[in-house]
Amino acid sequence: MNTNKITKALAGSLLVAASTSAVAKVETFQINFVTIQDLSITQIQAVGYGQNIIGKAGTSCDLTVAVTATGALAAAGQITDALSGTGCLTVAAGANGLGGVYNIAGAANQTVNVTVASSSNADFDFSPNGKIMTAGAAITATTNVFADSAASVALDGTNGRANLYVGGTITVGAADLTANTPYSASFDITAVY
């Protein structure tokens, strides 16, 4: 009798398994995507203090930039710049060609975090600051950029661009700089989606 119940249970299990496998179906489907385009940073005009740094130890010079016009691409004529401080000759605000101008390009309508890194060497330190804005936006839509701190900006919806304008402060180190001598340093601009 127990054998009969076990046989019926096994037969029922086999019948259920057979009927389930007969109605099961597996289909294979694909997933597709295209990776986002790389960001690029193009220098339109380099940051430069001209022959205005006095070079006395411990002094500093501020290069300020102000956005005066906008466009689909960053251009040198979109800013005024000025120099002031104990370590440089004073240069009044105007189109002096001192502030850095950079174009950031990527995927349209995407937010990008931009960081402008400070720079140090044995002779002087450079602490950048400036303005960033969506290309073609109103002048009032600029965002301040500070050294070593990410600033967010949306790339424009047509060309995927933002404009970055860089000034900053040079601080001379512990020793006087040599008169009538060129000095330079490098700094990084990083853009990340």
For residue 120, is it left (φ>0), alpha (ψ between -120 and 50) or beta?
Answer: beta
pLDDT score for 5: 59
Question: Is residue 105 in a domain?
Answer: yes
Question: Is residue 61 in a domain?
Answer: yes
Please count the structural domains in the chain: 1
- The full DSSP string for 19-56 is HHHHH-----------PPPPPEEEEEE----TT-B---
Question: Is residue 16 in a domain?
Answer: no
pLDDT, average across residues 147-160:
95
Question: Is residue 19 in a domain?
Answer: no
Expressed as residue numbers, the domain containing 51 is: 42-192
pLDDT score for 72: 77
Binned at pLDDT 50, 70 and 90, residue 99 comes out as very high
Question: Is residue 108 in a domain?
Answer: yes
pLDDT score for 4: 59
Instruction: Examine the pLDDT at 176 and tell me if it is beyond 70.
Output: yes
pLDDT score for 45: 96
pLDDT, average across residues 37-56:
97
The SS3 of residue 177 is coil
